[in-house]
């Protein structure tokens, strides 16, 4: 439609050199372009090139933020953490032993109170204070709390020894790891975790670059780099313009020829009236060249605009 709207009037003389120059421009701009690149639109090429550039820039920024990995012995760190958990468990057991000793002491005191009450009742009933029942009750009142106290003290002593042993193992593991305090160890662990997070983000950015480059190569092929995107888009736009100009000139030549035939005039532009078959041959089976068949150029331009190989 664009070529028909801009077609020259039949009265204007048609120059064959313009058609040759338009063909030469199309061939020059299309030289070296693969079919997949010729089927791409300039705006798509610009967007794909910009997406690649942004992905590469983001990946470079992420990779620059990764930095060097902090040294951390994983085995020594695990040993320190295990020793710290052992100390925590020993402290919990000691607290439980202290609570249990208090409970045993309370039970011993209750037993002593009951034994003394029984001895007082026996004395009131007329039994001699130094008699065996009274004597046994008094001894039981004294032995109960003492026994409970000894049991509780033993439990507390063993729990304390366990805590001291666990703390000594923890201090030895911490020294072997190269740190003086747990705060330094946790700070190093946080630094290593942050480094791993930054490294994973950089790897994700690199994967995004690979995806963008794959989209670029799928659009224009392997012959061009994403850096050449703006120049390639300009070349494709120029090629589209040259193809439209050639289409305009071909339609104009056909229109001029039709007008001359209708008027019975002799054409000034040479034109071979050989009928062209569907396979690019005349009815006699002879191959028809491009110069002999302008309609062949129309078919080639149509295939290029539709993205099919010419």
138 vs 266, higher pLDDT: 138
Give 89-145 pLDDT, tens digit per residue.
Answer: 999 999 999 999 999 888 888 888 888 888 888 888 877 777 888 878 888 888 888
pLDDT for 34-82, tens place per residue?
777 777 888 888 888 899 999 999 999 999 988 888 788 888 889 999 9
Supply the pLDDT for residue 260.
60
d(CA 116, CA 143): 12
**Per-residue confidence (pLDDT) for residue 2, from 0 to 100:** 41
**Interacting residues of 163 by C-beta distance below 8 A, sequence separation 6+:** 87, 90, 91, 93, 94
- pLDDT tens sequence across 110-120: 888 888 888 88
- Confidence at residue 170, expressed as pLDDT on a 0 to 100 scale: 92
3-state SS assignment for residue 149: helix
pLDDT at 248 over 90: no
pLDDT for the residue numbered 5: 42
Domain edges within the chain: 74-178
Higher-confidence position of 298 and 219: 219
Closest CA to 238 of 5, 42, 13: 42
More confidently predicted of 69 and 296: 69
Tokens (6 digits) for 47: 């967007």
Choose the weakest-confidence range: 11-25, 160-174, 231-245: 11-25
d(CA 220, CA 240): 16
pLDDT higher than 90, residue 205? yes
pLDDT band at 274 (very low <50, low <70, confident <90, very high): very low
CB neighbour burial string for 179-198, b if at least 16 within 10 angstroms, e if fewer: beeeeebeebeeebeebeeb
Backbone angles phi, psi at 287, to 5 degrees: -65, 140
């Amino acid at each position: 439609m664009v070529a028909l709207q801009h077609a020259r009037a039949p009265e204007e003389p048609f120059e064959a050199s313009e058609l040759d120059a338009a063909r030469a421009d199309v061939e020059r701009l299309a030289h070296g372009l693969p079919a997949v690149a010729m089927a791409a639109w300039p705006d798509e090429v610009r967007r794909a090139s910009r997406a690649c550039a942004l992905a590469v820039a983001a990946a470079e920024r992420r990779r620059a933020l990764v930095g060097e990995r902090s040294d951390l012995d994983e085995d020594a760190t695990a040993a320190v953490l295990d020793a710290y958990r052992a100390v925590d468990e020993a402290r919990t057991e000691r607290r439980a032993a202290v609570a249990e000793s208090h409970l045993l002491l309370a039970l011993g005191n209750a037993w002593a109170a009951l034994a003394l009450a029984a001895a007082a009742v026996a004395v009131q009933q007329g039994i001699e204070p130094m008699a065996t029942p009274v004597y046994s009750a008094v001894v039981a009142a004294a032995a109960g709390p003492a026994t409970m106290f000894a049991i509780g003290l033993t439990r507390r002593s063993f729990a304390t020894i366990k805590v001291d042993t666990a703390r000594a193992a923890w201090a030895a593991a911490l020294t072997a790891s190269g740190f003086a305090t747990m705060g330094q160890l946790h700070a190093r662990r946080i630094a290593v975790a942050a480094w791993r997070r930054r490294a994973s983000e950089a790897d994700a950015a690199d994967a995004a670059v690979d995806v963008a480059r794959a989209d670029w190569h799928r659009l224009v092929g392997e012959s061009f780099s994403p850096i050449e995107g703006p120049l390639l888009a300009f070349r494709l736009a120029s090629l589209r313009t040259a193809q439209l100009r050639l289409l305009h000139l071909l339609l104009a030549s056909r229109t001029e020829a039709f007008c001359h035939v209708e008027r019975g005039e002799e054409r000034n532009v040479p034109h071979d009236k050989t009928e062209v078959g569907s396979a690019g041959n005349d009815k006699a089976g002879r191959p028809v060249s491009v110069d002999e068949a302008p309609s062949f150029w129309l078919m080639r331009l149509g295939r290029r605009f539709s993205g099919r190989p010419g």
